[in-house]
């Protein structure tokens, strides 16, 4: 389980995280939801220790972040970090050289799943295919937890559906996923837990199935209730 405890973060004088706490379990998809600028990316970067925190802590399977944590967790940012001149095959080779938990077999399977060609150059990929290549590089890692920042942002409905399908496939299996979004349409049915954020705070955290069964409310219903106040 990933436990995020009372994260506080400022950029200069601007408070971005005002005491964020939530948990994300293995085998579940946890979705961080909030409008632009609420701090979703900052939370993911904090979990990965990519940005210094003012206070708070993150525990991965009960332990504070240490060098072994990175063998358990992969971060898929909202833009591909490989050089545009690289072919997808070069990017895969780079990952294989760099990370010992790179799984080439899964990477090859993901190529087929996303209908990508290994010989294509990153600079020549469409936006949707760039996002799929980006996801491939993260999903092919043998890790217990995946953090995905806005995987559906700005891409067409067919690519969004294709990416959504990956969540129900064995390629995600029983891993723990934290995903951020400000649009829920394609993934509402996939998520196990919703964490609603506003101005750097968690304003509601709930299990989506329980909410449906006990209150008869979808995630979008809860969002309308919470954000339209």
Interface residues toward ligand ATP, by CB under 6 A:
11, 16, 34, 36-42, 182
Q: Please, which residue, 50 or 83, has the CB nearer to ligand ATP?
A: 50
Q: What is the CA radius of gyration of the chain?
A: 17
Q: Judged by CB, which is closer to ligand ATP: 34, or 138?
A: 34
The secondary structure of 170-206 as a DSSP string is TTTTT-EEEEEES--TTTGGG-SEEEEEETTEEEEEE
Q: Residue 58 Cβ, how far from ligand ATP at the closest point, in Å?
A: 15
Pairing of strands 73-76, 145-149: parallel
Closest among 54, 78, 75 to 6, alpha carbons compared: 54
- Tell me how far, at minimum, the Cβ of 187 lies from ligand ATP, in Å: 15
- Distance separating alpha carbons of residues 179 and 33, to the nearest angstrom: 9
Please, are residues 187 and 162 in contact by the beta-carbon 8 Å criterion? Answer: no
Name the minimum Å distance from CB 223 to ligand ATP. 14
Q: Find the shortest distance in angstroms from Cβ 7 to ligand ATP.
A: 11
Residue 210 in tokens:
């329980």
Nearest alpha-carbon partner for 132 in 97, 85, 88: 88
Q: Which CB sits closer to ligand ATP, 107 or 193? A: 193
CB of 110 to ligand ATP, least distance (A): 25
Please say which residue, 91 or 184, places its beta carbon nearer to ligand ATP. Answer: 184
Nearer to ligand ATP, 39 or 176 (CB): 39
């Amino acid at each position: 389980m990933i436990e995020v405890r009372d994260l506080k973060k400022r950029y200069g004088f601007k408070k971005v995280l005002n005491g964020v706490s939530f948990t994300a379990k293995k085998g579940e998809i946890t979705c961080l939801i909030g409008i632009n600028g609420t701090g979703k990316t900052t939370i993911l970067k904090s979990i990965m220790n990519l940005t210094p925190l003012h206070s708070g802590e993150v525990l991965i399977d009960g332990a504070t972040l240490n060098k072994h944590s990175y063998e358990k967790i992969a971060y898929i940012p909202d833009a591909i970090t490989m050089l545009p001149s690289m072919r997808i095959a070069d990017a895969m080779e780079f990952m294989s050289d760099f990370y010992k938990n790179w799984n080439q077999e899964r990477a090859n399977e993901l190529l087929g799943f996303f209908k990508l060609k290994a010989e294509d150059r990153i600079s020549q990929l469409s936006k949707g295919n760039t996002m799929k290549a980006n996801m491939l590089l993260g999903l092919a890692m043998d890790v217990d937890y995946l953090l995905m920042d806005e995987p559906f942002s700005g891409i067409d409905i067919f690519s969004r559906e294709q990416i959504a399908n990956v969540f129900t496939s064995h390629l995600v299996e029983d891993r723990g996923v934290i995903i951020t979004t400000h649009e829920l349409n394609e993934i509402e049915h996939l998520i196990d837990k919703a964490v609603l954020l506003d101005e750097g705070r968690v304003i509601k955290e709930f299990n989506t199935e329980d909410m449906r069964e006990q209150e008869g409310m979808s995630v979008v219903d809860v969002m309308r209730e919470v954000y339209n106040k």
